[in-house]
């Protein structure tokens, strides 16, 4: 016999190891006695499934679901907009205003500044509606080259700028009509 086997502790049976961990075992002699109740510990240990990180994750998921449902109900949800932009869009104020400082860009395209706080097509999907004498015109989200070449009321809201044309391709600075936007 080698020295390692002669000094080793006796081998435990598999069922002894399992019974020490509280597992069911078939040998009644190896079942440990129930531990005595320790009065010094009045609080039970928290369950492994209830962790603060899980609660934060659940709260964030509930918030995202609530915001998504509010956006859908308001008709403002778009699948291309990420969660941060959806939340920002839900809490942004709605602005109406008149177009001031209109400049001719080229072709049928005119430009003017609009408030930078509005979501534009550069960031997400713009909700800006362009109106001529209080009536919505469009189509919206047009390419800038189509606005220049075709006109016909096309417009695009891009990074604080409005690129637009009038429905009859006249000059909005001199045609006597009032151009407004709402978001």
pLDDT tens per residue, range 8-61: 554 544 444 444 444 444 555 555 555 555 555 555 555 555 566 677 777 777
Residue 164 CA: distances (Å) to CA of 24, 121, 181: 78, 14, 11
Q: Which residue has the tokens 């079942």?
A: 31
Distance CA 53, CA 132 (A): 53
pLDDT of the residue at 122? 85
- Both tokens of residue 56? 């934060």
């Amino acid at each position: 016999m080698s020295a390692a086997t002669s000094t080793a502790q006796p081998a435990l049976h598999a069922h002894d190891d399992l019974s020490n961990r509280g597992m069911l075992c078939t040998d009644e002699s190896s079942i440990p006695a129930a531990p005595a109740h320790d009065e010094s510990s009045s609080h039970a240990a928290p369950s492994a499934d209830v962790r603060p990180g899980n609660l934060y994750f659940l709260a964030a998921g509930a918030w995202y679901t609530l915001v998504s449902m509010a956006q859908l109900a308001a008709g403002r949800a778009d699948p291309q907009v990420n969660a941060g932009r959806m939340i920002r869009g839900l809490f942004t104020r709605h602005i109406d205003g008149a177009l001031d400082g209109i400049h001719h860009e080229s072709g049928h395209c005119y430009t003017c500044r609009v408030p930078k706080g509005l979501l534009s097509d550069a960031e997400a999907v713009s909700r800006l509606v362009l109106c001529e004498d209080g009536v919505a015109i469009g189509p919206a989200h047009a390419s800038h080259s189509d606005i220049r070449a075709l006109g016909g009321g096309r417009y695009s809201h891009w990074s604080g700028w409005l690129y637009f044309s009038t429905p009859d391709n006249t000059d909005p600075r001199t045609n006597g009509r009032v151009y407004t936007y709402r978001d």
